Amino acid sequence: MEIYGVDFTSSPSRRKPIVAARCRLDDALDALIAAAQASWSWLERDNAFGIPAGTDCLEGWICAYPPS
């Protein structure tokens, strides 16, 4: 099964563009963990999505519970 996703910000720019992804669901456990992490991050949306203060905005960050 193929999965499609979009990662975007409410105000896209050259520094933070809209990103589209397509992948195959070969490992259901990985998909379940990713869904749990995304859900937790959404619950933390009023708290910078769980991203620690001072994090470089040009670096990627995996939003996961508990934050490390």
How many domains, the chain?
A: 1
What does pTM read for this prediction? 0.48
Q: Are 3 and 23 in contact (CB under 8 A)?
A: yes
Residues 6+ apart with CB under 8 A from 55: 61
Tell me the C-alpha distance between 48 and 23, whole Å: 27
| pLDDT band per the 50, 70, 90 thresholds, residue 9 | low
Residue 14: inside a domain: yes
Residue 12: inside a domain: yes
Domain span including residue 34 = 2-50
Q: Are 7 and 22 in contact (CB under 8 A)?
A: no
Asked if omega into 52 is within 30° of 0 (cis), the reply is: no
Q: Give the residue-averaged pLDDT of 19-26.
A: 75
pLDDT of residue 43: 85
Q: Are 58 and 34 in contact (CB under 8 A)?
A: no
Residue 29: inside a domain: yes
| pLDDT band per the 50, 70, 90 thresholds, residue 29 | confident
